[in-house]
Amino acid sequence: MSARAFWVTTPGRGEIRDEVLPTPGADEVEVRALASGISRGTETLVFRGEVPPSEHQRMRAPFQCGEFPAPVKYGYASVGMVEDGPPALRGRAVFCLHPHQTRYVVSASAVLPLPDDLPPGRAVLAANLETAINGLWDGGPRVGDRISVVGAGTVGCLVGWLAGRIPGCEVTLVDVEPARAEVARALGLRFATPDTAPGEADLVVHASGAPEGLVTALGLAGLEATVLEMSWFGSREVTLPLGAAFHARRLTLRASQVGQVAGARRARWSHRRRLALALDLLGDPALDAVVTDECTFEALPRTMALLASPGAASSTLTTRVCY
């Protein structure tokens, strides 16, 4: 059996490679990919070769091949159809934390069947929604909180959508691009630019991927509020204004990362249970607004180069890869 897979061959360059697949074992499945999602923030850092050496092991994807910076096969948002495997899974649409590849063979325990009402095209958001779930577990919002989410990218939009379902919460998406207001409306959220965003927030989530966004987040936090950092800057250094009113307001700056289940849930929640929750929550058609672009699998090298370039379209949230 053969397959085709997307590889980052050198920083800033990718290609499609042929691969030979093993025959599935008794407890394995063969999956034919239907769609996958590009996690723009992390995958463009990987594409540009900006994973620092200290994070090479922690940043490995579950079915990654190769080593950072390159050549490496990376990705973690694949949706496909089980064509061979245990009878209970055969013919089922499933999600797998697998790189961009036309077919693959993995353990049956590595795939999760999609809920019956979840379209495969929307299921590519599962990994990012899992990140958003973990972030809110880390941030600990309460009923009635004023919450600002700085950065209306995919993760920011999903964090805002989740927070907006908490009774009484006032959730504002904050972004430098006024065009993101349309996505905010589709998700039932308020929108503001940095200069019009309301202050005195109980919780501020930063997900813009830009140092300037984190500065904005610190400025929106109220007395003794938490600023939750969900962006990952790779090898870039970030300078912050931790003088001024940072100490007087007794702010908490906290990191969140999806690799570990949030501490308050870790004793009871596994990674699989958390991912299953994300799939269940994706039933809302409003989330289709977060998938803004599509490309074919064969166009992935060019698409990744465009997304990782300095002049990349700011309107792109999630790009769905069609097989």
The domains of the chain are located at 2-125+282-322, 128-255
Predicted pLDDT of residue 314: 77
**Which pLDDT tens digit goes with each residue over 296-315?**
999 999 999 999 998 777 78
**Which pLDDT tens digit goes with each residue over 153-179?**
999 999 999 999 999 999 999 999 999
Predicted pLDDT of residue 273: 97
Contact (Cβ atoms closer than 8 angstroms) between residue 251 and residue 225: yes
Cβ atoms within 10 Å, residue 114: 20
Predicted pLDDT of residue 237: 86
When the pLDDT of each residue in the chain is averaged and rounded to a whole number, the result is 96
Report the pLDDT averaged over residues 59-75: 97
Report the pLDDT averaged over residues 112-125: 97
Report the pLDDT averaged over residues 186-205: 97
Report the pLDDT averaged over residues 23-28: 95
Report the pLDDT averaged over residues 183-195: 97
Look up the CATH superfamily of 128-255: NAD(P)-binding Rossmann-like Domain (3.40.50.720)
* pLDDT > 70 in the chain, percent: 100
- Which of the four pLDDT bands, split at 50, 70 and 90, describes residue 228? very high
Report the pLDDT averaged over residues 285-300: 97
Same fold, 2-125+282-322 and 128-255: no
Is pLDDT larger for residue 1 or for residue 161? 161
For the entire predicted model, the pTM comes to 0.94
The CATH code of the domain at 2-125+282-322 is 3.90.180.10
3-state per-residue secondary structure call for 9-76: EECCEEEEEEEECCCCCCCEEEEEEEEEEECHHHHHHHHHCCCCHHHCCCCCCCCCEECCCCCEECCC
Report the pLDDT averaged over residues 213-242: 93
Predicted pLDDT of residue 276: 98
